[in-house]
Amino acid sequence: MLKLSYKIMLREYLSPILETIKIILLALLIVMPIRYFLFQPFIVKGQSMEPGVVSGDYLIVDEITYRFREPVRGEVIVFKYPFNPSHRYIKRIIGLPGEKVEIRNGKVYINGKPLNESTYLPPGTETPGEIEMVLRENEYFVLGDNRIASADSRTWGPLPRKNIIGRAIIRAWPLDALAKFSAPFYQF
């Protein structure tokens, strides 16, 4: 009789613990694939994307979209820095494969036509540098929105497609700055 009550007590004691372990394992089985294959958090460090994205912003990065389509001009992306893939950068796509990108007199030109960046850059923003390059297949030209404080394609050249992790889709933190990212419409 004592043996039976001991087993019942042990089962009653362990039952909530086992149930908790099951819930944790199930949550991990659901969350981990989402975290590692679909969406990834990214905390911004630095000033290169100000004023739209500031240091300390917590972004959600969509890692799946670019498996089904190519990146689009104007999208804010997170990528592996070409010269040190362990570092992650955030920039905006300006030039697409096959395009001629020029920077002259503080303005950006795509295939000889000026790029209107008024939807995300403060009025009067100029882009320092004098550059002319034609992007090859699977190469992108990226710039930070804070053109003076950004190390980008002007410094280290085109970004290889294979280095792109994903596109920023939501600023989740701080809550008062919650926002969805979308690519602006460009008219040439």
Integer-rounded Cα Rg, in Å, for the chain is 23
16 SS3 class? helix
Residue keyed to tokens 């550059």: 131
**Which percentage of the chain shows pLDDT scores above 90?**
44
Report helix, strand or coil for 93.
strand
- The pLDDT score that the predictor gives to residue 108 is 95
Provide the pLDDT for residue 75: 94
In terms of residues, how long is the chain? 188
pTM over 0.95: no
pLDDT at residue 110 in the model: 96
Q: Which of 45, 48, 118, 182 is catalytic?
A: 48
Q: For the segment 6-62, what is each residue's pLDDT rounded down to a tens digit?
A: 666 666 777 777 777 777 776 666 656 555 555 566 676 888 888 888 788 888 888
Q: Is 91 a catalytic residue?
A: yes
Asked if 182 is an active-site residue, the reply is no
73: pLDDT strictly greater than 60 = yes
